[in-house]
Chains A and B, each alone.
Chain A
């Protein structure tokens, strides 16, 4: 999870006053999480890039309406997620997510045996398939909370719901997922 640097609020305040340098810093800081959020919501690199880019541009023009002192990241992710949702709706469906290929895995000192790695991969493949079988609402909340490791506040912003709804939706989604992976 990307931490929220302490100067997030300060940079946003400067950007709100029209400081383009401050906004550049915010783009640098959050372009990664903005793209990943959009990608996991759309499943398409092209759509994610477009959504993230448009989201930043819209954020710049909406900054005068940005609440002073509020954290910038959840607000930005909400704008990006809106763009991503629009593209997902236009596409009619979201592309399925995939695991990285084994060859792309970085070597680790404590790498498991080939059998262990295969077993781990098999479990992850099953888990991903189970997540993909969930309804959109369950999948989105699990994507935000666990796959993207967003905070409850950020998840609430991305899904445009209250924090309490994030909690209850997450609990229900986890319960459904558990029933999927442990028949």
Chain B
């Protein structure tokens, strides 16, 4: 430290700074006068549970057969090979289905403006963008009737790994911990179909895995991120880590 820098530090000790008022009481008073964050529901906890495929189709009007995945997906330098599950039926107007399932169609620019947080994006722009419930922004790669990948980002969510393990691990669904850029996430395979979210007031909100395929969920800085597609754990993590 130079003499000038030392002089600045000494100057800091000589400044007239009023004594810090007691902030504890007013802060606690302000917190207590507002709705409480509930201990057990403090975070938006993302819970994924199994349900019947028929229930999914009825609820979402997106039959699994329609969630065709293209074979190859090039994202962020990664070449992801996806299994092609061609639709067995002529889809209903797919765009309408996805508006129902995901939210209002919008542009990427508009989504960036209204999201309220910095969207994580892949190098490749999504083919479709939707604004859904609870502030969720959806990126769709492919076309609504031939979906390659879905990416969702929901503010104020977090992922409770223990709960996921407790609720989901079983013969039909595999729940595995993964590491996404140093953040722990959970990879669900075996066709998990339903999600349950807790909103900030602690109310449970039912959500769904839109594609009825593998799901990777993780949390970054208060944003719950989720990938859906037909991929291996390694492929899902590679795509997740390409999000910037």
Contact = CB atoms under 8 A, between A and B. Distances in A.
A9 interface: no
A18 B40 CA distance: 8
A130 B23 CA distance: 33
A39 interface: yes
A124 interface: yes
Interface in B18-32: 18, 20-24, 26-28, 30-31
A148 B8 contact: no
B166 interface: no
B15 A64 contact: no
Interface in A94-127: 97-101, 104, 123-124, 127
B98 interface: no
Given A53-B30, A100-B15, A100-B16, A35 B23 contact: yes
A23 B14 CA distance: 31
B31 A64 contact: no
Interface residues of A, number: 51
B178 to A, nearest CB: 16
Interface residues of B, number: 39
Contacts of B12: 146-149
A63 B42 CA distance: 9
Contacts of B42: 16-18, 64
B243 interface: no
Contacts of B8: 127, 131, 142, 146-147, 177
Nearest to B18: A45
A29 to B, nearest CB: 11
Nearest to B39: A18
Given A18-B39, A127-B8, A177-B4, A66 B24 contact: no
Contact of B14 (A17, A39, A99, A131): A99
B158 A64 contact: yes
B109 interface: no
B89 interface: no
Given A101-B16, A177-B4, A181-B4, A147 B11 contact: yes
B26 A53 contact: yes
A146 B3 CA distance: 12
A20 interface: yes
A34 interface: yes
B20 A32 contact: yes
B193 interface: no
Contacts of A8: none
A40 interface: yes
Interface string B132-158: 000000000000000000000001101
Contacts of B58: none
B16 A99 contact: yes
B74 interface: no
B17 interface: yes
Contacts of A20: 28, 31
A57 B24 contact: no
Interface of A: 16-20, 23-24, 27-28, 31-32, 34-36, 39-40, 45, 48-49, 52-53, 56-57, 60-67, 97-101, 104, 123-124, 127-128, 131, 142, 146-149, 174, 177-178, 181
23 contacts: A19-B39, A31-B23, A35-B21, A39-B17, A39-B18, A40-B15, A40-B17, A49-B23, A52-B20, A56-B23, A60-B27, A62-B222, A64-B37, A64-B158, A65-B155, A99-B14, A100-B16, A123-B7, A128-B15, A147-B8, A147-B15, A177-B4, A177-B8
Given A20-B28, A65-B222, A146-B9, 8 more contacts: A18-B37, A27-B23, A27-B28, A28-B24, A61-B34, A64-B44, A100-B14, A101-B16
In the complex, the 8 A-B pairs of residues with the closest C-beta atoms, listed nearest first? A65-B222, A146-B8, A147-B12, A18-B39, A35-B20, A18-B42, A31-B23, A45-B18
